[in-house]
Structure 1
Amino acid sequence: MGAAMEFMNPLTFASDAALMAVAGGMCWVLAAVCLLMDRRRERLRSVDRLERVGFVPWTGLFLGLAIIGGGCLAMSLPVVLGNL
């Protein structure tokens, strides 16, 4: 349990810009997952298994998460680069 607490210390004492950069990076990771799931759905659709595809708006989720993540990273970039 001590190792988990030491892992959280940099995030606990991070600045708002660093936390926003982390949130933006997480949004981009989720956007990449949405992109992969959309490609998987298109591949299954071509195999003619429409009943197994399901309905999740992967393209819309990808676009929304990519824009939000890019905005968070762009807003935090000057402060994060200034601390280097």
Structure 2
Amino acid sequence: MGAMELLHVLTFASDAALLAVAGAVCWSLAVVCLIMDRLREKRRSVDRLERVGFVPWTGLFLGLAIIGGGCLAMSLPVVLGNL
């Protein structure tokens, strides 16, 4: 599927399909935050905050997972009904 076809599909998609896509994107970003949090925890350094920087990966993961789950839950009946 080319970029133009994908743009055409997203342009004419229903609201529930767009909500499902937004939920999937949020969950994908939540997985990235989870991986980054694990990498930060694995690093053995005394002054971690100064060398790695401070990003609240756990809070970002939790927020994105809740938002993504809510989007997917709201779009699930319509998406399943179209199958």
TM-score by structure 2 length? 0.91
Partner of 1:42: 41
1:16 maps to a residue whose letter is D
Partner of 1:55: 54
In the aligned structure 1, how far is the partner of 2:73 from the partner of 2:6?
A: 26
In the aligned structure 2, how far is the partner of 1:64 from the partner of 1:30?
A: 10
Partner of 1:7: 6
SS in 2 for 1:73: helix
Q: Structure 1 vs Structure 2: percent identity of aligned residues?
A: 77
Write out the 4+ residue segments of structure 1 that deviate beyond 2 Å after TM superposition. none
In the aligned structure 2, how far is the partner of 1:14 from the partner of 1:7?
A: 10
In the aligned structure 2, how far is the partner of 1:66 from the partner of 1:6?
A: 29
In the aligned structure 1, how far is the partner of 2:37 from the partner of 2:58?
A: 7
Provide, for residues 14-65 of structure 1, a one-character-per-residue CA deviation record: whole Å limited to 9, x for no partner.
Answer: 0000000000000000000000000011011xx1151322100000000000
Unmatched runs of 5 consecutive residues or more in structure 2: none
2:62 maps to a residue whose letter is L
Report the aligned-residue RMSD. 1.0
Deviation of residue 4 (structure 1)? 2.1
